[in-house]
Amino acid sequence: MKQFVIINSSQVSSVNFNEVMEDSANTLRYNLDGTQTFVKFTGDTPSFVTSETIYSEDEFREIMNNYDNSWEVDPETEEEI
């Protein structure tokens, strides 16, 4: 089961990309003002996750699909979460 964590952009340097589904900082998707991004993982919680909220896929989809949360959603290019 995929789980999701939203992190501040300043935390990207602490992400261990061996523990998440993204390949590198270059593959992360950011919110509209560039202050936050997210990572996906399965299994154990990544070591860099300390006090951040962990979301299920359904919870995360609600956040992403709400434009008021500052995440860009373009139906033409929407990628699979």
Average pLDDT over residues 12-22: 96
pLDDT of residue 50: 86
pLDDT for 20-74, tens place per residue?
999 999 999 999 889 999 999 999 999 999 899 999 999 999 998 877 778 765 5
The confidence score (pLDDT) of residue 9 equals: 96
70 Ramachandran zone, left/alpha/beta (phi>0; psi -120 to 50): left
The residue with greater pLDDT, 71 or 11, is 11
